[in-house]
Structure 1
Amino acid sequence: MRRPRCNTQPDFAPPVPQRAVAAPDDGSVIDALRRGDDTAFARLVDRYGASLRRVARLYVSNRAVADEIVQDTWLSVIQGISAFECRSSLKTWIFHILINRAKTRAAREGRTVPMAGLDDPVRAAAPVAPDRFQPGERPAELGRWTPPEPGLEASPERRLLAREARAHLQKAIEALPEHQRLVLILRDVEGCSTKEVGNVLGFREINTRVLLHRAHAKVRMALRPYLDGA
């Protein structure tokens, strides 16, 4: 089975609306990988490669090192697929391997991810104004942002404002504390469910929701001039 190629896409991209694409049945993919099916493996690399690289960059600052972590992850997938017991989804398992490899490499290079506050959801950051979120959502369930008003980008001025907001959105995401950024990237950019994010990172679900809420709050604060002026 060939080694995966390094992905050359940008490390981070602001979340944009995308159509959900149903992943193939895990069972058939796992069977194909166990048979040494190169095509199945290549499709898996295409599906998750860019996401894995973005997550790796949350732990290490060097792009080449992130690529090595992703390569090691795929090798571990190849070597471990025969023993995979399907206690989680294939996607969760792959991301869990990636996170462990990234943590090990970050520790080796002396870069740590602070864990303070993860086990104390009560000490969350100040809540965001309720009108910033969709009606009926409780703080622990905040997982999506209010959609833009109809016709937001109807004029050139609106389109320019949207481009500027996207640039500031990317900066706001990159400025988040590492765990908040990781949760937001996995949940809002990579499309993982809150439960999947918790399983991948080894966090309790309540902690995952608190981190996501904090991340949303900080990003919205950074974008407030654009949201209020739109």
Structure 2
Amino acid sequence: MDDAQLVAALRRGEETAFAALVDRWSPAMLRIARTHVATWSAAEDTVQDTWLAVIGGLDGFEGRSSLRTWVFTILVNRARTRGTRDRRTVPWSSLSDGDDPREAGSWVDAARFRGADDPYPDHWTPSGKPVPWAETPEGSALSREAMSVLESALAALPERQQTVVRLRDVHDLTSAEVCELLDISAENQRVLLHRGRSRLRAVLEDLYRSESA
């Protein structure tokens, strides 16, 4: 659906449309919120508050920007407010940065999700339905190893580089959207993206070089 159709569906209260939107945009929203608040739990609260605000403010959406830009702008405003409030009440140095469950290595096998060519990309595969091999077991094992290495390398990037790379290459935001949402210049965005991608490429080159050897 285009923006007009999606907004109409949301205003009609279609739960499937809203659920699909939440599934698709929340990971990027969480990453953006985390650049403004002290902890992942605070970022999760901010994302939840944003979706509640979106529901309550749909009638006021005039379509002057894309729906995604409108939603993400609400997110940034709330995240900045939350970050300012938290800094006034709790020292950032006293807050743990290790509360992201994704950093504990408990990643789900990518084969359990539908592919990009599926009508519902990135959704879980149907319960009980076998996942067909798209390649040989050896190739699949290497692909999973590469993704694991790549994710580890991505997580090891400096925070600003990691955020820009995730938003551009994982969540498919445009350069203009990233600049606006993170309040950075186009040149700064390009530098961060280039440096992050270069590090990831070097890691993959080392991996495949060792496999070839």
- Do both proteins adopt the same fold according to a TM-score greater than 0.5, normalized to the shorter chain? yes
Output the TM-score relative to the length of structure 2.
Answer: 0.63
The answer to whether the 8 Å contact 2:6/2:17 transfers is yes
CA RMSD of aligned residues (A): 3.1
1:67 aligns to 2:48 (yes or no): no
Aligned residues: 167
Higher relative contact order (CA 8 A, sep 6+): 1
1:176 alignment counterpart: 157
Unaligned runs of 5+ in 1: 1-23, 113-152
Q: Aligned ranges for residues 135-146 of structure 1 at < 5 Å?
A: none
The amino acid across from 1:177 in the alignment is P
Report the equivalent of 1:30. 7
Q: Could you tell me which amino acid in structure 2 is paired with residue 174 of structure 1? A: A
2:120 corresponds to: none
Q: Considering fraction of residues, name the structure with more helix.
A: 2
Amino acid at match of 1:75: L
Q: Deviations over 1:103-124 (max 9, x none)?
A: 3333444459xxxxxxxxxxxx
Which residues of structure 2 form unaligned runs of 5+?
Answer: 94-133
1:184 deviates by 0.9
Give yes or no for the alignment of 1:77 onto 2:54.
Answer: yes
Alignment TM-score, normalising by the size of structure 1: 0.59
Query: CA offsets, 1:1-43, max 9 Å, x none?
Result: xxxxxxxxxxxxxxxxxxxxxxx11112223434555454333
Identical residues among aligned pairs (%)? 46
Equivalent-residue separation in structure 2 for 1:161 and 1:39 (angstroms): 36
CA distance in 2 between counterparts of 1:38 and 1:158 reads 39
CA distance in 2, matches of 1:158, 1:29: 39
What is the aligned partner in structure 2 of residue 163 from structure 1? 144
The letter for the 2-side match of 1:76 is: A
Select the residue among 181, 186, 193 that pairs with 1:205: 186
Rate the CA distance shift 1:74–1:157 in 2: closer, same or farther, 3 A.
same
